Amino acid sequence: MAEKTFTVKVEFPEGGEETFEAGAGEYILGAARRAGLQLPSLCEQGWDLACAVKIVEGEVDQSDSRRYFEEDRKCGFALICTGKACSDLVIVPYQSKQMRKCRDEHGLPAPRGT
Amino acid sequence: MAREMPHATGKVPPGDVTQRVGIEVMEARGVNVEELREKLIDAIAAEFASTYYYYTILRMYLAGHEDYKEICEDARLEDRAHFELMTPRVYELGGSLPYNLHEFADRAGCPHAYLPGTDNGQHAPEMGDGKGPSAADILEVLLDSERCAIRTWSEICDLTAGGKDPRTYDLASRILNEEIEHEAWFIELLSMERDGVVRPSGHFRRGEPGEAPYSKNRPLYNP
C-alpha cells in the first residue's frame, strides 16, 4: 500500500510560497529537497534551530528530534530536519531567532548563533 | 576617482585600546562580527562538549574493536584541538567563553554524542548481557557528529570567504579539513561493520594519537 502523503505549503517571510508533498514517514526537510526546494538546516538531527519553522496550520511529529521541548510545540515551532508531517501543513521557514526567543522565555537551552 | 580601500576606512585613533582594527576591517568588508562570534562559540562548544567529552565515553565502549578505538581517539583529540584553535579567535572578536560550563554545553551547535542505550545520557547503558551498545551503534553516533561538524565549519567558511575575514577562514578551513577526514573514517568503519561493504576512506593512520595535521600546526600555540 502506498505511503500516505500530506501537502506542505511553505510561506516565505519575504513573500511568495511553494508547495510540495511529504510522506507520513519522511522528514519534511528531505521531502522539500526531493521537490527541489532548499530550506535552511545545520545539524539535521533536530538539535540546533537552523531549520526552525513556524507552524501556521497542521501537526508535526518531532519524536525523532534530539532536542525538542513541549514549549517549542506550544509556541508553534517545528524542526523540519527531523519532523514528520501528521497532517497537511502550512509553515513559515527562517524562524530560528523567533524559536530561540521562545526557548529564552522558558529558560530552555539553544545555540546562540543560528 | 578615489580607489576602494576597505583597509583604510577605519576610525580607531592611535593609542585607543577600546576598539580593534582587526574587527573594524571585517566590518568594512560586510561581516556581521557579533553574529559570526556567536556562531563560533556554538561551534567550539560542540567541539568541546558535544564531541570531545562524549567521544571519551564512546571509546570506552569499543572494547574488542581496538582499531575503532584508536580512530575514535584520533577524532576525539583532534576535536579538542579544534576547540583550542578557535577559542582565541572568539576573544579577538570581543567575545569570551561562557563563565559557566553548563551554559557552554547547552549552546553547542551540534547534538551531544551520547552513548547509545543511555536515553540521551540519563543513565548507564544496560549491561545485562555484558555487551553494552554495539560498535555499529557507536559508529553511527560518531558519523552523524562529524557530519554536523562539517556543516558547521562549512558555514563559517562561507561567511568569511572571499577576503572578508581571512583569519577566521583560515582557522575554520583547517578544522574543516580534519572533520571531512573524520567523516571518511567513520563511513569506512560503519559501512564494513554494519553493512559488510568496503568503502575506503583512502587514508592511512595518524602518526600519533590526535596528530591534527591541519589544526595543530607547530607555529600556533596549541599544545
pLDDT surpassing 80 at residue B9: no
Give how many domains chain B has, as a whole number.
Answer: 1
CATH topology of domain A5-105: Ubiquitin-like (UB roll) (3.10.20)
**What would the pLDDT profile of A56-95 be if each residue is shown by its tens digit?**
999 999 999 999 999 999 999 999 999 999 999 999 999 9
Residue at grid coordinates 584508536? B70
Give the mean pLDDT of B100-129.
Answer: 91
Sign for the CA dihedral angle at A88, A90, A96, A101 comes to negative
Range of the domain at B44: 31-113+133-195
User: B115 and B133 in contact (C-beta within 8 Å)?
Assistant: yes
Closest residue in chain B to residue A67, using alpha carbons only: B111
pLDDT at B132: 81
What CATH number is given to the structural domain containing B58? 1.20.1260.10
Question: Does B220 reside within a domain?
Answer: no
pLDDT category of residue B3 using cuts at 50, 70 and 90? confident
Hey, are the CB atoms on A47 and B42 less than 8 Å from each other? no
**B51, B106, B160: best mutation site toward chain A, by most A Cβ within 10 Å?**
B106
Nearest to B222 by CA among B90, B87, B101: B87
The whole-angstrom separation of Cα B10 and Cα B68 is: 52
Q: How far is CA A98 from each of CA A75, B37, B149, rounded to the nearest angstrom?
A: 10, 19, 24
User: B107 and A110 in contact (C-beta within 8 Å)?
Assistant: yes
Give the mean pLDDT of B123-132.
Answer: 75
User: B86 and A89 in contact (C-beta within 8 Å)?
Assistant: no
Question: Does B154 reside within a domain?
Answer: yes
A positions 41-100 inside 8 Å of B (CB): 41-48, 66-67
pLDDT category of residue B218 using cuts at 50, 70 and 90? low
Burial class (CB in 10 A: 0-12, 13-18, 19+), B30: exposed
Nearest to A43 among B38, B40, B109 (CB): B109
pLDDT at B222: 58
**A38, A43, A44: best mutation site toward chain B, by most B Cβ within 10 Å?**
A43
B41 touches chain A (CB under 8 A): yes
pLDDT at B11: 87
Question: Does B118 reside within a domain?
Answer: no
Of B52-56, B117-121, B180-184, minimum mean pLDDT range: B117-121
Nearest to A113 among B42, B106, B151 (CB): B42
Cell numbers at residue B158, please? 562561507
Residues of A in contact with B107 (CB under 8 A): 109-112
Question: Does B5 reside within a domain?
Answer: no
Using DSSP's 3-state secondary structure scheme, residue B168 falls into helix
In chain B, the percentage of residues whose pLDDT exceeds 90 is 79
- pTM comes to 0.93
ipTM above 0.85, yes or no: yes
The whole-angstrom separation of Cα A30 and Cα A51 is: 12
B39 touches chain A (CB under 8 A): yes
Closest residue in chain A to residue B141, using alpha carbons only: A45
Domain boundaries, chain A: 5-105
pLDDT surpassing 70 at residue B130: no
What does pLDDT average to over chain B? 93
Q: Who wins on pLDDT, A114 or B54? A: B54
Burial class (CB in 10 A: 0-12, 13-18, 19+), B212: buried
Hey, are the CB atoms on A42 and B109 less than 8 Å from each other? yes
pLDDT surpassing 70 at residue B55: yes
Nearest to B148 among A45, A110, A112 (CB): A45
Per-residue burial over A89-111, b if 16 or more Cβ lie within 10 Å, else e, is bbbbbbbbebbbebbeeeeebbb
Residues of A in contact with B153 (CB under 8 A): none
- Amino acid at site B215: S
End-to-end Cα separation, chain A, in angstroms: 40
pLDDT at B5: 78
Hey, are the CB atoms on B148 and A113 less than 8 Å from each other? no
A106 touches chain B (CB under 8 A): no
**What would the pLDDT profile of B12-38 be if each residue is shown by its tens digit?**
989 999 999 999 999 999 999 999 999
